[in-house]
Structure 1
């Protein structure tokens, strides 16, 4: 089923080398009768340190409960790739990703968690989330934020 609103799917891939939220596409949720999670893992996320211009590498986890729209995965890949030459701090990248996805999808719930490889002996794992006001997902967002790292993982790969 083709959707005329999807700009990238089935087209030649053109990569943006600077931050570009305009590449994001959405498509309609055909299952409005139930709540469900969609999760994306991006283990090859790259951005640049805004101070040194050196590359930063990390894994980005994006989970959301859609409302009327879902994010198209190829456009998400292109969007995340657009950070490749973007200079920003890890925390700002994660919050911006969450805000951009929230703006285009208007999900019931979304969370974005970055797990960056260390530089200078320190790794940074910023987390941001949102639950739609007036729904039970607003309280879920508060609880997940309060408890998101209550059981820290054992770090074996960094």
Structure 2
């Protein structure tokens, strides 16, 4: 007596396979090393005072998937360092220089930071959120909420 037409048992967390992890050929150590290399480049750009370049680099190829939790944490901290070191008056021009995909990824990092108020400065994140929604509109928020590539860090 099969009353179900969909096998809901496949949705059990014990049987879940993250499609991005399954497609990735890199080990977590390799991804973490790439993020650490990126961190030195981003910090160099921040030292030169080039916040836009630093943010572009920090948002480039973010690690996704549960296997890469430590790399996600490092990359998230890197993005937050860039956001914290930006003058409030420069936020709008920095966001306007980003591509739509970068704005969407930045929105994920902003919401991740807002979910951890003990770790990150929510005042700074709210200032960024205001400018991101001004530039990207509500579409950015909808894409962020419906994207299945989540930041788990």
Q: Is the TM-score greater than 0.5?
A: no
Larger radius of gyration: 2
TM score, norm. by length of structure 1? 0.31
Q: Which has the higher strand share?
A: 1
TM score, norm. by length of structure 2? 0.32
Q: Which has the higher helix share?
A: 2
